[in-house]
Structure 1
Amino acid sequence: QIHSLVMSLSFTGIEIKLAHSVDSWNGGILVTVAGSVQTKDSKGRRKFIQTFFLAPQEKGYFVLNDIFHFVDEEPVIQHPPSMLAHANFDAQHNTSNSLEEP
C-alpha cells in the first residue's frame, strides 16, 4: 500500500545530491540517498532522504527495508547576540515542584 502511494506521486524529475553506502550485516549494504523530486502536480521541488537495506540473494540484492522521508524546510529563527546576552531567565522555571503525598 505504501509503495503504491509513493508510486502514485508521479515524480517527473529526481535530483540526487548525495549517496552513501556501507557494508552491513550478513553481506548486506545500507544505503542513504538525499536529493529532491518534482511531481507533475507541483512546480517546485521537494527535498527527500531515503535509507534502504540491500540484502544479498543468489544473483545480486533485494530491498529488504526502505525508509523514504520528505524533508520539510522550516525557517530558522536567529536572535541577535545582544538579545541573548541580556536575557533574564527565571531560575524558578528550572526547578521541580514537589507535591506532598496524601
Structure 2
Amino acid sequence: MTKDDKKVLDDQIRRWTTEMNDLAGKIAVAKGTKGTKGTKGTKGTNYALLLVMPQGDYEDVAPERIAEDALRVMNHGWPEGFDIEISTDRSKSMRYNAF
C-alpha cells in the first residue's frame, strides 16, 4: 500500500468513525439515555460504541460469540447495570439487559 493509499484509507476510516459515533448518539437519545440533540449528532449522550475485530481462529464463529469472548462474558457474566445490544454483520441484533 502506498502512502497516498494509506492516507485515503485513514481519511475514510475517520469519516466512518465520525458517522458511527453520530448514529450511536442518536440511538442513545432515542432510547432515552441522557443527552440532547445537537446540530451535529448529539451532545452529552451516554453511550459506548465498540467494534470488535478478532485476531486468530474465529473464521467460523458467530459474531455474538466473538463479542462474548472479547468482553469475557463466559468468565465474569454480563455486567450488571448496562443495556447491551450487539448488532452483527449478519443483520441480527441481540439485546442483553443486565440489571
Using the size of structure 1 for normalisation, the TM-score is 0.22
Where is the helix percentage greater, Structure 1 or Structure 2? Answer: 2
Q: Which has the higher contact order (CA 8 A, sep 6+)?
A: 1
* TM-score of the superposed pair, with normalisation by structure 2: 0.22
